[in-house]
């Protein structure tokens, strides 16, 4: 039986998803609410959780591409559709570069935008100067403030978290990021995504009014898929999967919840399904460990080792809210980093004592941790750690 939808697996380009008829779970109302009257916004979510799609949706919105949003929720609210100049960076594209080549790789991302506004491409300038020149020049040309979008800002930092080169990477990125504060009066909106919050990186140390929405209740579902969205957008897919598994609609929902649901990103967050896992489950008609099998972050494995983590006794873990606001290079950051990376999630909140309980979000991650992470350890190592 043919699939009822074209699934956007591996796709994050909003424009092509809409134009080519791929299924799109409408997050535009939440996006519109997020923009509001804010100027600087930071959102942390695990890998492959929809951050890049959100960035590209923002780009299309600020570029005034009204036709792409026809029938989506934002069309009920936005009436002006002002076209702003936009510059966007994807830092995951430079994380595998050497330290020496990283500035050049970042600089290459400028050229599309510099050429669009006939700004001379000068590769001898630092990236910070190029960003400053771009924002000032485009503001002078168009009379409009510039939108800056930075996706996976911390990808190069996580790539060098444990190799002794983190300080060098920070210096490279700070040269770029510090201009965001300098150019504040010429910016319409700055949106930054990542997995972790690194201290001593100028995004967090110089932008005083950076709004960190990662643990806000009203934005807890801005990425990922809720149960209501699952049933609304994937009803036919669920019915087909139920037929394959020879069970009822309600029973297959419970199987999907057990395997892929259970993420919570705030105190009162609804249950969130992993979008990568859900899409691949419908594509392959299998309830496999789709998200975990895409890749296991090497810095997470190294982090577990360096913290002498007994993976067999990792959860449950109780944390105060301030415990979440730590940097990956801080020694006590193991559980918050596992939470930010999607390996753990909030499972309970004691409002009276303001204590969060972390645990595995679902069966996919629980089994994945045991089967895939445990192979990096051996019984002798774990025994030695317990004896210390």
Q: Are residues 196 and 331 in the same domain?
A: no
Q: Are residues 193 and 330 in the same domain?
A: no
The parent domain of residue 373 ranges over 296-387
Instruction: Report if residue 255 sits inside a domain.
Output: no
- CA torsion through residues 158, 160, 162, 167, sign: negative
- CA torsion through residues 325, 326, 327, 328, sign: negative
Instruction: Report if residue 35 sits inside a domain.
Output: yes
Q: Are residues 211 and 308 in the same domain?
A: no
The residue out of 177, 196, 219 marking a domain boundary is: 219
- CA torsion through residues 322, 328, 332, 334, sign: positive
Instruction: Report if residue 9 sits inside a domain.
Output: no
Q: Are residues 201 and 333 in the same domain?
A: no
Q: Are residues 189 and 303 in the same domain?
A: no
Q: Are residues 201 and 311 in the same domain?
A: no
Instruction: Report if residue 152 sits inside a domain.
Output: yes
Q: How far apart are alpha carbons 385 and 313 in whole angstroms?
A: 12
The residue out of 219, 238, 271 marking a domain boundary is: 219
CATH for 105 = 3.40.50.300
Instruction: Report if residue 15 sits inside a domain.
Output: no
Q: Are residues 302 and 164 in the same domain?
A: no
Q: Are residues 214 and 319 in the same domain?
A: no
* pLDDT tens for the 388 residues of the chain, in order: 667 789 999 899 999 999 999 999 999 999 999 999 999 999 999 999 999 999 999 999 999 999 999 999 999 999 999 999 999 999 999 999 999 999 999 999 999 999 999 999 999 999 999 999 999 999 999 999 999 999 999 999 999 988 899 999 999 999 999 999 999 999 999 999 999 887 667 677 777 788 999 999 999 999 999 999 999 999 999 999 999 999 999 999 999 999 999 999 999 999 999 999 999 999 999 999 999 877 667 788 888 887 778 777 889 999 998 888 887 877 567 899 899 999 999 999 999 999 999 999 999 999 888 876 766 655 444 444 444 4
The residue out of 190, 219, 248 marking a domain boundary is: 219
Q: Are residues 73 and 192 in the same domain?
A: yes
Q: Are residues 199 and 57 in the same domain?
A: yes
Instruction: Report if residue 20 sits inside a domain.
Output: no
Q: How far apart are alpha carbons 267 and 346 in whole angstroms?
A: 8
Q: Are residues 88 and 203 in the same domain?
A: yes
DSSP result, 323-377: GGS--TTSTT-HHHHHHHTTSSEEEEEETTTTEEEEE--SHHHHHHIIIIIGGG-
Q: What is the pTM of this model?
A: 0.93
Q: How far apart are alpha carbons 166 and 183 in whole angstroms?
A: 26
Q: Between β-strands 86-90 and 187-194, what pairing exists: parallel, antiparallel or unpaired?
A: unpaired
Counting the structural domains of the chain, the total is 2
Q: How far apart are alpha carbons 151 and 195 in whole angstroms?
A: 10
Q: How far apart are alpha carbons 203 and 181 in whole angstroms?
A: 8
């Amino acid at each position: 039986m043919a699939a009822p939808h074209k699934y956007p697996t591996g796709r994050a380009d909003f424009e092509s998803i809409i134009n080519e008829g791929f299924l799109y779970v409408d997050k535009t109302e939440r996006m519109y609410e997020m923009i509001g009257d804010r100027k600087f916004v930071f959102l942390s979510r695990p890998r492959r959780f929809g951050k890049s799609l959100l960035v590209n949706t923002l780009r299309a919105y600020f570029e005034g591409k009204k036709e792409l949003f026809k029938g989506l929720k934002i069309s009920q609210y936005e009436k002006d559709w002002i076209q702003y100049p936009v510059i966007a960076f994807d830092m995951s594209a430079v994380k595998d570069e050497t330290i020496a080549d990283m500035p050049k790789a970042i600089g290459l991302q400028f050229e599309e935008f510099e050429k669009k506004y006939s700004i001379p491409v000068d590769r001898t300038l630092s990236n910070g100067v190029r960003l400053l020149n771009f924002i000032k020049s485009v503001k002078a040309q168009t009379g409009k403030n510039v939108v800056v979008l930075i996706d996976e800002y911390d990808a190069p930092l996580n790539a060098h978290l444990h190799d002794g080169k983190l300080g060098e990477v920070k210096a490279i990125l700070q040269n770029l990021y510090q201009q965001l504060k300098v150019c504040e009066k010429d910016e319409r909106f700055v949106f930054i995504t990542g997995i972790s919050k690194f201290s001593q990186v100028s995004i967090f140390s110089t932008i005083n009014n950076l709004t960190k929405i990662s643990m806000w209740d009203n934005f807890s579902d801005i990425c990922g898929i809720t149960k209501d969205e699952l049933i609304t957008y994937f009803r036919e897919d669920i019915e087909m999967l139920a037929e394959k598994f020879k069970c009822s609609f309600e029973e297959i929902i419970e199987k999907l919840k057990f395997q892929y649901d259970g993420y919570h990103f705030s105190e009162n967050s609804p249950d969130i399904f992993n979008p990568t896992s859900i899409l691949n489950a419908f594509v392959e008609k299998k309830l496999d460990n789709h998200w975990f099998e895409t890749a296991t972050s090497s810095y997470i494995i190294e982090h577990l080792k360096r913290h002498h983590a007994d993976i067999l006794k990792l959860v449950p873990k109780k944390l105060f809210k301030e415990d979440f606001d730590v940097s990956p290079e801080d020694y006590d950051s193991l559980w918050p980093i596992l939470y930010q990376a999607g390996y753990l999630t909030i499972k309970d909140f004691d409002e009276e004592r303001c204590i969060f309980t972390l645990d595995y979000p679902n069966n996919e991650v629980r089994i994945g941790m045991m089967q895939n992470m445990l192979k990096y350890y051996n019984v002798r190592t774990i025994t030695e750690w317990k004896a210390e």
